[in-house]
């Protein structure tokens, strides 16, 4: 058990170290200067969100772009607006696929005008900070039946969380996460077993379900990733005729037998949710899933 | 604590829509739809008839959260023509109904979340149950996938539990969760449910 715990902690640190090389360009119809600006290269932290990591990008392109006029910057990949409230690593997996097969650096277009308000949530008024905190409250509620562990974070701790997401600082994040875990442990009692494991399953950039799952099966065994997916997507996981789906967590194809609770501890995002992408139409070179 | 299952929410939602036909704000029930390969459709939701309101002022068009005391002058008494669209959706995490709000100007332009927030703060203050600025934020509509302003549901199960417990002596089996919930939340969007109506609604399930 201790070995598994250590492995889980190491995997969590690895997940935090994950970055995506990206290159930003200004939308050609928004270039107001004779010469277009040079592209901006940046490594994006998988665990973070666009609004926390793109201040430099905005500063770089601002002198070349038209005035925003009270609007806000937004980003697209291959013509699709990027929904910033999805963690960056998940966004990349959904839009670009497995890192080993994707075209890198990830090419993103920056817009300063025409914010698609009917598609994207606004980032104004520190909405991203609020979004993460609200998601954290939800995941706390699903795990221990109360949102209080997240709601009782002090302003300083909330700022620390924001800073950790901005600088991709795992240690700083751990300090906040441990405070939340300690508060949850009080409500969970001696077993420490959560009521449910908060999971969000995507099948495309816009199709997803939230599926909290009990950590143990009625038979007493550990709930596996497969158990969650087969209940949500029986046509995909029970059918022998359809092509084997790829199940991606943190950019990696994951064995379906992986215990869900362990996977959550190792690979969940800072909002407390485990994000799983099920790609139902794998390319012909799809690796075999165990 | 009082929670609803998705099935109970859908049953109550359909009945709620039927009973609302004669009311100033009537509601329609929109069935959930299957999306992608998921086995179960999304949970359906309630959609209101348009609620006519005053236009948002230019001040509101900025992206600033109004400060305390600054919400008295956020609405002007000009010609109405702006409208609110209210949706009641199922909040899957907390297992409670969730009020979503979208505003449109008379020209059909979408209100910003700040404009919706300002409107709700003013309307709820007038209704005698003022809400705080930070209780309104944007979320993704669970069925439509588009942005809507939302009133935070964190403590809904708690206060609904208190209401249901208080009423349980009267009609333990008959109290309608959704109607009881709406009789409280209506004030936040400037709607009033007369006490007699509320009672009749709540007990008519």
pTM for the predicted model, two decimal places: 0.88
In a 13 Å sphere around the CA of B146, the CA atoms on its Cβ side amount to 9
Chain B residues in contact with A231 (beta carbon < 8 A): 39
A46 CA to chain B: closest CA distance, Å? 21
Chain B contact probe: residue of A85, A117, A200, A205 with most B CBs at under 10 A: A117
Out of A137, A206, A236, whose CB is closest to B37? A236
Do the Cβ atoms of A119 and B146 come within 8 Å? yes
List the structure tokens of B94. 């907390």
User: Residues of chain A whose pLDDT is less than 70?
Assistant: 1-2, 240-242, 281-290
Total Cβ atoms within 10 A of residue B68 = 8
Chain B contact probe: residue of A125, A158, A205, A281 with most B CBs at under 10 A: A125
- Which pLDDT tens digit goes with each residue over B52-77? 888 876 544 444 444 444 333 333 33
- For chain B, give the percent of residues with pLDDT over 90: 34
- Of residues B92 and B201, more confidence is placed in B92
pLDDT of residue A113: 92
pLDDT of residue A197: 97
Do the Cβ atoms of A234 and B110 come within 8 Å? no
- Which pLDDT tens digit goes with each residue over A136-152? 999 999 999 999 999 99
In a 13 Å sphere around the CA of A168, the CA atoms on its Cβ side amount to 22
Q: What is the CA radius of gyration of chain B?
A: 17
Residues 9-68, chain B, touching A (beta carbon < 8 A): 35-40, 61-65
B50 CA to chain A: closest CA distance, Å? 18
B92 DSSP assignment: T
A208 touches A200 (CB < 8 A): yes
State which residue of chain A sits closest to B59, comparing Cα positions: A70
Out of B39, B146, B147, whose CB is closest to A235? B39
Do the Cβ atoms of B37 and A233 come within 8 Å? yes
pLDDT of residue B66: 41
Chain A residues in contact with B65 (beta carbon < 8 A): 125
Chain B residues in contact with A236 (beta carbon < 8 A): 37
- Which pLDDT tens digit goes with each residue over B142-182? 999 999 999 887 777 777 878 777 665 554 445 688 888 88
The answer to whether B144 faces chain A, any CB pair under 8 Å, is no
Measured distance CA(B183)–CA(B199) in Å, rounded: 9
pLDDT of residue B76: 34
Kindly list the distances between the CA atom of residue A116 and the CA atoms of A154, B53, B115, B145, in Å, as whole numbers in the listed order. 34, 24, 17, 13
Out of A121, A138, A147, whose CB is closest to B147? A121
Instruction: Name the burial class of residue A84, with classes exposed (0-12), middle (13-18) and buried (19+) by CB atoms within 10 angstroms of its CB.
Output: buried
What angle is formed at CA B70 by the lines to CA B67 and CA B71, rounded to 5 degrees? 105
State which residue of chain A sits closest to B35, comparing Cα positions: A207
ipTM for the predicted complex comes to 0.88
Chain B contact probe: residue of A81, A116, A131, A209 with most B CBs at under 10 A: A209
Measured distance CA(B179)–CA(B196) in Å, rounded: 12
pLDDT of residue B39: 86
Compute the Cα dihedral for A11, A13, A14, A18 and give only its sign: positive
Of residues A246, A242, A232, A226, the one with CA closest to residue A289: A246
Kindly list the distances between the CA atom of residue A186 and the CA atoms of A119, A191, B90, B128, in Å, as whole numbers in the listed order. 40, 11, 29, 37
Q: What are phi and psi of A110, to 5 degrees?
A: -100, 135
pLDDT of residue B69: 40
A200 CA to chain B: closest CA distance, Å? 11
Out of A83, A207, A235, whose CB is closest to B35? A207
Task: Flag the least confident range among A83-87, A275-279, B108-112, B199-203.
Answer: B199-203
* pLDDT range class, residue B202, cuts 50, 70, 90: low
pLDDT of residue A29: 94
B197 CA to chain A: closest CA distance, Å? 33
Measured distance CA(A69)–CA(A74) in Å, rounded: 14
Do the Cβ atoms of A118 and B146 come within 8 Å? yes
């Amino acid at each position: 058990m201790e070995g598994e715990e250590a492995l889980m902690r190491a995997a969590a640190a690895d997940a935090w170290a994950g970055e995506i090389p990206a290159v930003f360009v200004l939308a050609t119809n928004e270039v107001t200067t004779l010469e277009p600006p040079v592209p901006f290269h940046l490594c994006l932290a998988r665990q973070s969100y666009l609004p926390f990591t793109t201040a430099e990008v905005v500063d770089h392109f601002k002198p070349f772009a038209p005035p925003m006029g009270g609007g806000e910057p937004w980003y697209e990949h291959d013509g699709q607006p990027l929904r910033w409230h999805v963690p960056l690593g998940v966004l990349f997996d959904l839009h670009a696929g497995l890192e080993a097969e994707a075209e890198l650096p990830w090419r993103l277009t920056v817009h300063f005008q025409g914010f698609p308000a009917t598609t994207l949530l606004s980032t104004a008024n520190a909405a991203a900070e609020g979004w993460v905190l609200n998601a954290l409250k939800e995941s706390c509620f699903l795990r221990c039946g109360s949102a209080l562990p997240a709601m009782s974070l002090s302003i300083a701790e909330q700022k620390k969380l924001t800073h950790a997401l901005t600088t991709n600082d795992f240690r700083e994040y751990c300090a906040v996460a441990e405070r939340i875990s300690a508060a949850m442990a009080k409500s969970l009692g001696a077993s420490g077993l959560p009521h449910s494991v908060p999971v969000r399953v995507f099948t495309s950039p816009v199709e997803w379900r939230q599926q909290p799952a009990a950590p143990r099966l009625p038979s007493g065994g550990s709930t596996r990733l497969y158990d969650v997916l087969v209940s949500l997507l029986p046509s995909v996981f029970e059918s022998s005729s359809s092509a084997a789906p790829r199940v991606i967590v943190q950019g990696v194809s994951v064995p379906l037998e992986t215990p869900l609770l362990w996977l959550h501890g190792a690979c969940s995002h800072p909002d407390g949710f485990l994000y799983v992408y099920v790609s139902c139409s794998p390319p012909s070179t799809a690796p075999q899933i165990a | 604590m009082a929670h609803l299952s998705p099935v109970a929410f859908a049953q109550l939602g359909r009945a709620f829509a039927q009973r609302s036909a004669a009311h100033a704000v009537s509601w329609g029930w929109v069935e959930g739809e299957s999306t992608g390969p998921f086995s179960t459709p999304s949970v359906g939701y309630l959609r209101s008839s348009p609620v006519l309101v005053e236009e948002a002022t230019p001040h509101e068009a900025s992206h600033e959260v109004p400060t305390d005391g600054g919400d008295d002058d956020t609405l002007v008494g000009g010609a109405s023509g702006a409208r609110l669209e209210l949706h009641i959706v199922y909040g899957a995490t907390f297992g409670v109904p969730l009020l979503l709000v979208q505003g449109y100007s008379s020209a059909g332009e979408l209100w910003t979340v700040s404009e919706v927030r300002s409107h709700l703060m003013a309307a709820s203050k007038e209704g005698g149950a003022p809400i705080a600025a930070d209780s309104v934020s944007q979320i993704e509509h669970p069925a439509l996938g588009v942005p809507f302003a939302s009133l935070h549901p964190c403590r809904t199960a708690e206060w609904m539990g208190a209401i249901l417990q208080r009423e349980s002596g009267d009609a333990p089996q008959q109290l309608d969760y959704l109607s009881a919930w709406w009789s409280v939340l209506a004030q936040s969007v400037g709607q009033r449910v007369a006490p007699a109506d509320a009672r009749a609604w709540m007990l008519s399930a």
